[in-house]
Structure 1
């Protein structure tokens, strides 16, 4: 049974393996733990002690937030976990004026189903730093 929580501070790196499938230079579990613990808000999905999904937000806490990551382990995808993680995170951010997500076109319909709308944006990526190290 999947349980949800919002506090990453009791997690260990061992609970954060298997994410970032397809990334050529993914963050190590220790880096992911640091990332989650430094986020403004976090939504976590657990199957027992194992973390099977997460979403995080970075924010000024006043007007705006950015959701950089939503990850669900491949074997748990398609079961509604990603949607529930986002619903919980968006509820936590509902006091803010703007909440932004930048995503690839093929996953935009997922976010639209959750009430987000398409908008233009620009990005810069430094792939040499993709691992966060």
Structure 2
């Protein structure tokens, strides 16, 4: 199970505009910088992130069929604005992890409540 699409639309219009300026400055929030598959336009999408030994994992709270995920998968690369800097990432792949092992315990509990089991893994370029 993933969060409802209606909530995704609300977040895109309201929550992302409020949290967007905070994302990328540190903590578990970052911004994925990606290009539209058709438009070529640059987008910045606020996301939660977890560090991995080779890069980062992003929980796909709305599933792998969201535009930003499809854009990153199609391009094979993106940038992550995090901690006041920019990290170039490559090798995007959707990984299903029923145990949510990449997440710290507190976040793992929340992700389990929502039934979220898919992550976008990316490697540092």
Relative to the length of structure 2, the TM-score reads 0.35
Tell which structure's C-alpha radius of gyration is larger. 1
Higher strand proportion (structure 1 or 2): 2
Higher RCO (C-alpha under 8 Å, 6+ residues apart)? 2
Higher helix proportion (structure 1 or 2): 1
